[in-house]
Amino acid sequence: MTECGSGWGILANSSCNISYTTTWDSGVYWCESREGPISNMVNLTVTGGSVILQSPVLPVREGDDVTLLCKTKTTPSNLPAAFYKDGSLIRKQPTGHMTIQHVSRSDEGLYKCDISGHGESPSSWITVTGQATATTSRIFPTSSAPPLISTSLRVAFLQLFYPVMFCLYFISTLLMVSSYRSRGTF
């Protein structure tokens, strides 16, 4: 877990701007402040397309309302959008958002949206639970492995990469110094 400005993004006031995104930037994002609680977590999936489905990160409890937001990166929001669950059209909404009221377990599934002329979003899994405890939900993009696996691998890679590189650099420096000392050129 890293914060904006620490190797990625540019912190500007209360925003974090990421200029050049890759699929590795997919994951769970939120805002934190020393003065208050953290914001809601949001799943972001970076793809080559321009349509994004914003959905809950955490499982939702039965009876809760869930709002899905379909938008594009390039044009204003509130464009008409078609929403799909498990590949079947649920409904078309004129404003780009859809609220599922009083969700039940039958609402659990793979959701995506489509904005005419702009394309369709990657699919997003929504979990419905009756329990009070929540775990992170999963997004299943259409063209790659689940982002949580990618995100987990990325975190593991970054946690190992820099310490390993430092150790290799340190060991090679020690070997070089030792070699020079044994030659008497130091």
How does pLDDT run across 73-126, given as a tens digit for each residue?
A: 777 668 999 999 999 999 999 999 999 999 999 999 999 999 988 888 988 999
CA distance 34 to 20: 28
Query: In the chain, what percentage of residues exceed pLDDT 70?
Result: 75
Residue 150: left (phi > 0), alpha (psi -120 to 50), or beta? Answer: alpha
Are 104 and 30 part of one and the same domain? yes
For residue 48, what pLDDT is reported? 63
CA distance 11 to 1: 16
CATH of the domain at 36: 2.60.40.10
Q: Is residue 4 part of a domain?
A: no
Are 129 and 105 part of one and the same domain? yes
Q: Is residue 3 part of a domain?
A: no
For residue 161, what pLDDT is reported? 66
Q: Is residue 65 part of a domain?
A: yes
Which token pair is 82? 């078609």
Q: Is residue 163 part of a domain?
A: yes
Q: Is residue 44 part of a domain?
A: yes
Which token pair is 113? 């949206």
How does pLDDT run across 143-174, given as a tens digit for each residue?
A: 444 444 455 566 666 666 667 777 777 777 77
* Paired sense of beta strands 128-129 and 60-61, if any: parallel
Average pLDDT, the chain: 78
Instruction: Quote the domain boundaries for residue 29.
Output: 10-144
For residue 126, what pLDDT is reported? 92
- Of 23-27, 71-75, 129-133, 151-155, least confident by mean pLDDT is 151-155
Number of domains in the chain: 2
For residue 184, what pLDDT is reported? 63
CA distances for 20 relative to 3, 7, 17, angstroms: 17, 13, 9
**DSSP E strand stretches across the chain:** 10-12, 15-17, 27-29, 42-44, 51-54, 60-61, 66-72, 81-85, 88-93, 97-100, 109-115, 119-120, 124-126, 128-129
